[in-house]
Amino acid sequence: MHLQKIFFQLLKKPISFEVFSDDFNDMERQAMKIAGWGDNVYVKIPITNTKKESSKELIKRLAEKNVKLNITAIFTLDQVKTVMSVLNKDVPSIISVFAGRVADTGVDPVLLMKECLKETKTNPKSELLWASPRELLNIIQADQIGCHIITVTKDIIKKLQLINYDLDEYSLDTVKIFYKDAVEAKFKIN
């Protein structure tokens, strides 16, 4: 009974399923099939295919058919602007900006995400998703700028207990780990 209750609660939550094709016509066919799976289902469409061809026209066609979309693999403000220009303002959508991967390039993602958030405000049914976070700080950053959604890995969730942890204690914990590792490794300097 408990599992059944959880399952039915999950049916009410939004969930995204991504198309597998690299061909826009086949993506559209797959998207329509996926969209029929439930009212809470969003169809994930990549911003481009592997040939670097924009998905703009496909996004527009699907939006016109009232498909809830999650546009994924976005890295630039121009990509967000492109998507926002063709979305249906009456249908919920998710704009997934890979802020963590942007940070991997040495670029501070906070500035980008603030600008993306401004763009998504042109469509009240669109939500900005901070995708691919790398550290606990990303959750705080996303919250501070008012980002609607953030994906979080299990490893980052485990670090939530460190919020406001005393840094002197954290320093001591770290020294203890170093010492334990050295003892277990039986390191000696003669």
pLDDT 10s digits, 56-90: 999 999 999 999 999 999 999 999 999 999 999 99
- Just give the CATH number of 2-161: 3.20.20.70
**Cβ-based neighbours of 14, under 8 Å, separated by 6 or more:** 40, 41, 42, 68, 92, 94
**What pLDDT is recorded for position 88?**
97
CA neighbor of 74 nearest in space, from 97, 42, 53: 97
CA neighbor of 120 nearest in space, from 143, 144, 149: 149
pLDDT level of residue 1 (50, 70, 90 thresholds)? very low
